């Protein structure tokens, strides 16, 4: 977990302030390799092991399997994801859910954007994330839902496989207005987004703008 990515996480417990604070035991190139994420609000703690933030304790160190399209190379799939999310360098942040390590590494060569990798497949093949992902800040999260990710912080969220129930509704909350959401074509479009395009594999939608409340003007 890169130090800059900690601000993109929140305590999954339902309370007002979900800010997490990181305490590192082992740090390498600004990546917390071993440490703890703590919530000042409720006292919950979440371990960081091998650079991976663990919110789903049942998962342990188990690997997630990849679900890739065998007709495309990793580079072709990475190019597709980058185009779907309209990825750019700099301060833009994207969450990739269930993407394989091969595609993530190919994507890093195309666009060195800030990434949050949620339940990535074959991630242990990278060995040391502080080296493999060093080109730009990245975070790795193991979780059974999207609640550990901060709301309205992401420019795009992409699901590489059909997600768990409510995941798309949760993902909409993570997006900034105008942020993009990508999911398999068989998934139902959630509320709060407008479809841009779809093919036989995925659809791409954009987060609707949230209208601000009118401000009353009073005479003095």
Query: Domain containing 97: what range?
Result: 52-207
Q: What is the pLDDT of residues 118-141, one digit of tens each?
A: 999 987 777 777 787 877 889 999
Residue 18 covered by a domain: no
Q: Region 194-210: what's the mean pLDDT?
A: 95
- Entry pTM: 0.88
* Count of structural domains within the chain: 1
Residue 214 has pLDDT above 70, yes or no: no
Residue 161 has pLDDT above 90, yes or no: yes
Q: What is the DSSP string of 125-184?
A: GGS-HHHHTTTS-EEEEE-SSSTTBPTT-EEEEEESSPPPTTHHHHHHHHEEEEEEEEEE
Helix, coil or strand: residue 84? helix
Q: What is the CATH number of the domain that holds 70?
A: 3.40.50.150
Q: What is the pLDDT of residues 4-42, one digit of tens each?
A: 999 999 999 988 778 999 999 999 989 999 999 999 999
Q: Region 66-91: what's the mean pLDDT?
A: 83
Helices 101-110 and 74-84: crossing angle in degrees, nearest 10, is 60
Residue 213 covered by a domain: no
């Amino acid at each position: 977990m890169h130090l800059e990515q900690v601000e993109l996480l929140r305590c999954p417990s339902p309370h007002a302030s979900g800010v997490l604070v990181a305490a590192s035991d082992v740090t390498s190139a600004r990546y917390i390799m071993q440490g703890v994420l703590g919530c000042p609000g409720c006292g919950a703690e979440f371990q960081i092991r091998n650079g991976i933030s663990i919110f789903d304790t049942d998962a342990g160190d188990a690997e997630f399997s990849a679900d890739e399209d065998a007709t495309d190379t990793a580079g072709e799939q990475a190019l597709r994801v980058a185009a779907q999310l309209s990825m750019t360098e700099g301060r833009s942040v994207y969450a990739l859910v269930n993407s394989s390590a091969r595609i993530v590494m190919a994507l890093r060569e195309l666009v060195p954007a800030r990434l949050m990798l949620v339940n990535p497949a074959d991630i242990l093949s990278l060995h040391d994330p502080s080296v493999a992902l060093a080109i730009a800040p990245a975070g790795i999260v193991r979780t059974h839902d999207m609640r550990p990710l901060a709301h309205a912080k992401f420019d795009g969220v992409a699901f590489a496989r059909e997600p768990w129930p409510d995941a798309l509704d949760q993902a909409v909350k993570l997006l900034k207005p105008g942020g993009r959401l990508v999911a398999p074509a068989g998934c139902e479009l959630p509320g709060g987004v407008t479809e841009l395009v779809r093919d036989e594999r995925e659809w791409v939608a954009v987060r609707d703008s949230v209208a601000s409340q009118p401000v009353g003007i009073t005479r003095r």
